[in-house]
Amino acid sequence: MAYLNPSEPPEGFLEENRSPAGHIPNFVTMFAARPAVYEAWKQLNGAIKASMDLRRYELATLAAATALKSSYCCLAHGQVLAEKFLTPDEVAALVHDPSDDPVDRAVMSFARKIAVAAHTITESDVDTLRAQGLSDEDILDVALAAAARCFFSKTLDATGTTPDPAYNSLPAALRTALTVGRPIDA
């Protein structure tokens, strides 16, 4: 589950953060030692998502998580994409192949570059997104989504937090494609 064994969580913390599917995610158990940080994360991530189209948010997040080799985040956001926007095969393909859609391709490329080497972003990278019709606010949203994913993904990986066993219920090809780093918890 994780390398760390956090102290007993505050009363009600685990129940308050139960997933919609009914289980307590491994990351919630890990953050139980720092509930104020987890609440701040939820507020930050919620604010970023609120300003973005959900599909674009999920694509940018998946791209950043893939670049970071974060299985947990790839599985979570790939699952959302497969349930709401794309087929499981289309999501699986995004892990290794750029999207056929030029806007999606530009967004994902930008998010990956932020996750791996944000210091190398140039005005040309931003202009590529503008050329695809993104406003400066849209571009900022992609940057915020990718940068926030770095915090969350790196925290999970640094603590050895593995993806929840519930991800084993994803279609095999999707599950395999999205498991880019740590394996799913047994």
For residue range 19-29, list pLDDT tens digits in order.
988 899 999 99
| Gap between the Cα atoms of 107 and 124, Å rounded | 14
pLDDT at 4: 84
Q: Is the dihedral of CA 184, 155, 160, 164 positive or negative?
A: negative
pLDDT at 112: 98
Structural domains of the chain, with CATH: 53-178 (1.20.1290.10)
- The pLDDT tens digits of the residues spanning 113-157 come to 999 999 999 999 999 999 999 999 999 999 999 999 999 999 999
pLDDT at 73: 98
- The pLDDT tens digits of the residues spanning 65-101 come to 999 999 999 999 999 999 999 999 999 999 999 899 9
* Amino acid of residue 104: D
Q: Which DSSP state fits 162?
A: P
pLDDT at 84: 98
| Gap between the Cα atoms of 104 and 157, Å rounded | 27
pLDDT at 1: 65
* Average pLDDT of the chain to the nearest whole number: 96
Name the H helices within the chain. Answer: 13-16, 26-31, 35-50, 54-67, 71-84, 88-94, 102-117, 123-131, 136-158, 172-178
Does residue 42 register a pLDDT over 90?
yes
